[in-house]
Amino acid sequence: MDCKETYIFGPLAQLAEQDTLNVKVVGSTPTWPNYILPKMFKNYELLDHTADIGIRVKASSLKDLFRNAGLALTAISTEKQKIINPEKHKIIITQKAANVEELLVNWLNELLSAAQAEGLVFEDIRINEINEQLVDAVAVGASPVNYKTNFEIKAATYHQLKVRKSGSTWQAEVIFDV
């Protein structure tokens, strides 16, 4: 799987002001470092939170919602540097849950766990199968030597968790423990 992304560097406040990105910061601008935002994050927002960081992701399908939420982990916590090690690794991740909210949290936490255990930064995700109780995907990761870590995300939480479908649009809000 070949992952082609457009990277935009600069302080979050500057990114939020660029209309072409359609990036919106809700509340006061957090004092987080520079971000890498893959091109697909047109409907991605950071949520203002006292001690942690939250995201709101919108997509036209559940598949895209989970993909974008998974890639947001990389986008908000790392900054791509020079490619020192171009080798890519594929990890199969399958999660089941009783409902879509639990599935999203399980999915994000499994991505975090797999990245830590395998020593990878996930650059692309391909969802093979998904419904409201199951996600089966392939995550493509690269060596962390290619990235600067801005901060560590410890876990996705159930705090203020929302996953809903409105018309043809899926939306999720999730808070990460940092």
Domain of residue 52: give its range.
12-177
- So what's the pLDDT on residue 178? 86
Give a yes or no: residue 1 inside a domain: no
Residue 130 scores a pLDDT above 80: yes
Give a yes or no: residue 22 inside a domain: yes
Secondary structure percentages of the chain, helix, strand, coil, to 5? 30, 35, 35
CATH of the domain at 22: 3.55.10.10
Give a yes or no: residue 75 inside a domain: yes
Residue 35: pLDDT band (50, 70, 90) is very low
Give a yes or no: residue 4 inside a domain: no
Residue 141 scores a pLDDT above 50: yes
Give a yes or no: residue 7 inside a domain: no
Q: Residues 90-113: what's their mean pLDDT?
A: 97
By the 8 A CB rule, do 109 and 162 touch? Answer: no
Look at the chain and report how many structural domains it folds into: 1
- So what's the pLDDT on residue 15? 33
CA-CA distances (angstroms) from residue 25 to 12, 31, 45, 148, 150?
A: 8, 12, 6, 23, 18
- So what's the pLDDT on residue 151? 86
Residue 16 scores a pLDDT above 80: no
Q: What is the mean pLDDT of the chain?
A: 79
Residue 8 scores a pLDDT above 70: no
Give a yes or no: residue 3 inside a domain: no
Give a yes or no: residue 6 inside a domain: no
Taking only the tens place, the pLDDT of each residue in 43-95 is 567 766 566 889 999 999 999 999 999 999 888 889 999 899 999 999 999 99
Provide the 10 A C-beta neighbour count for residue 174.
24
Q: At 15, give phi and psi (nearest 5°).
A: -65, -40
> What CA–CA distance (Å, rounded) separates 12 from 24?
10
- The residue ranges of DSSP E strands in 60-161, in sequence order, are 78-80, 88-96, 121-131, 134-142, 147-149, 155-156
Q: Residues 12-22: what's their mean pLDDT?
A: 32
Residue 17: pLDDT band (50, 70, 90) is very low
| pTM higher than 0.85 | no
Give a yes or no: residue 2 inside a domain: no
